[in-house]
Amino acid sequence: MPTCPICARPLETTRQREGVYYHCPLCDGRAVTVSQIRHVLGERMAMKLLRLMKLSRRESARHCPFCDKPMLLLNMQDPPLELEACRACNAVWFDAPTYASLPQLAFESSSTMAMQATELIALERLKEFKERQERERQKAKKKKRLHRISESDEHRRQANAQPGDTQRSV
């Protein structure tokens, strides 16, 4: 079971739509895989982290929550973040303040943009569907009205018809 690199307490596994992350209930830190970061923050951010993990030589005082080896210190310029990561596990540790700054980065996510685009398309299709239903309802209403008018015209013709008229036409 993964342990918190700050508190040494067991991390809680949390499942969400984008995947799994590991949360420390005591210090509010989180261990996240690069794959999870790709889903949440986008490909660009994940690739940047992988590149930094590969190039970094600075060891952290903290150990990986998964393999217990020393993590690497990563300094990102854009956005400005200092993170710790384990190259072997492809895991990144976010302490509470760093994690709290992440929602501000979410707008850059390609997956977020794709979800927004999907939502816009779905809303447009729903609007078109409702408009089509309304047109069909109006058409059915008009057809029903025309049918009633033609029935009432037929009843009037029959009421106005002379009894002898029907016999002559036979």
3 within a domain of the structure (yes/no) = no
**Among the three residues 108, 133, 150, which one is the final residue of a domain in this structure?**
108
Domain hosting residue 143, numbered range: 113-159
DSSP the chain: --B-TTT-PBPEEEEETTEEEEE-TTT--EEEEHHHHHHHH-HHHHHHHHHHHHH--PEEEEE-TTT-SEEEEEEETTTTEEEEEETTTTEEEE-HHHHHHGGGGGGG-HHHHHHHHHHHHHHHHHHHHHHHHHHHHHHHHHHHHHHHHHHHHHHHHHHHS-HHHHHHH-
Kindly state whether residues 52 and 134 are assigned to the same domain.
Answer: no
164 within a domain of the structure (yes/no) = no
pLDDT, residue 110, reads 45
pLDDT, residue 91, reads 94
Provide the whole-model pTM: 0.58
Kindly state whether residues 62 and 136 are assigned to the same domain.
Answer: no
166 within a domain of the structure (yes/no) = no
pLDDT, residue 170, reads 45
pLDDT, residue 36, reads 86
pLDDT, residue 164, reads 58
pLDDT, residue 23, reads 92
Q: What averages of pLDDT result for each successive group of 10 residues across the chain (170 residues)? A: 92 84 92 87 86 92 95 85 92 87 51 65 86 93 84 77 55
34 within a domain of the structure (yes/no) = yes
4 within a domain of the structure (yes/no) = no
Kindly state whether residues 39 and 85 are assigned to the same domain.
Answer: yes
pLDDT, residue 113, reads 57
143 within a domain of the structure (yes/no) = yes
Give how many domains the chain has, as a whole number.
Answer: 2
Kindly state whether residues 70 and 17 are assigned to the same domain.
Answer: yes
